[in-house]
Structure 1
Amino acid sequence: MTLHHKKHHQTYVTGLNAAEEAYAKCTSMKEKIALQAALKFNGGGHINHSLFWRNLAPASEGDGKLEDGLLKSAIERDFGSVEEFKKSFNAKTAGIQGSGWGWLGYNSTTKKLEIITTANQDPLIIQKRQTRRKPH
């Protein structure tokens, strides 16, 4: 974990800082658009890793045991049990090819928890469905 923190996460922070500095110096929209991929990749890597570190649970602090409360109740409601959630989460995230992340997210439309995967360093974002309109 030390290597991952000092090398991988630090690389995203360094890349994000460089992309933000370059963006601030841009004089054209074309230059700003060219930096979008670097901002998304490095920014997503920083956000995702920051969440990851914050949510680690050492053995000395309960080893990640989920206590009774709103989250546990929602997991039991939507997955049947914490163990079934873990099985589903592990199965879905095992399907990630290459680099990616697995998330437990809340779908505000269905009012349920969902397991979602994102590619590379893409952060979990709200996906709004677009409705197609016929041209006038």
Structure 2
Amino acid sequence: MKYQKLLNSELSRVIARQGHMDELTLGDAGLPVPDAVSRIDLAVIPGLPGLLDVLDAVLSELTIEGVLLAEELKDQSPDFHAALCARLDALSEQSGQAVTRNYVSHGQFKERTRRSKAVIRTGEVTPFANIVLISGVAF
């Protein structure tokens, strides 16, 4: 059995394979997954698991240097956006390295998921609650 927090074997596999600047998407329950991209489906019921919980688990083993978010998240789901930004700020403070944030339209976001090594589907039902994680290096 693994010693680290993350127990899901599919998540562990995709994280272990990430290289510098590789992308990994965490999506809400409705985010379409391109056919050519691996899908890790964690959704159980609406809201379970939540995207922020899955993000915390993924970030326990993945180093990131940036994220991509949909511009619409700021206006359509401001509380979720604030909670997400607080987690990213805490991560930056803890690691001593800034995590850059870039915003694009939701349409551009969906197109960008084609570059991801995998899309992790959560049970999140908050509008536009999706994030592309851009891998960093741990040294």
TM-score by length of 2: 0.23
- The answer to which structure has the higher strand fraction is 2
The structure carrying a bigger helix percent of its residues is 1
TM-score by length of 1: 0.23
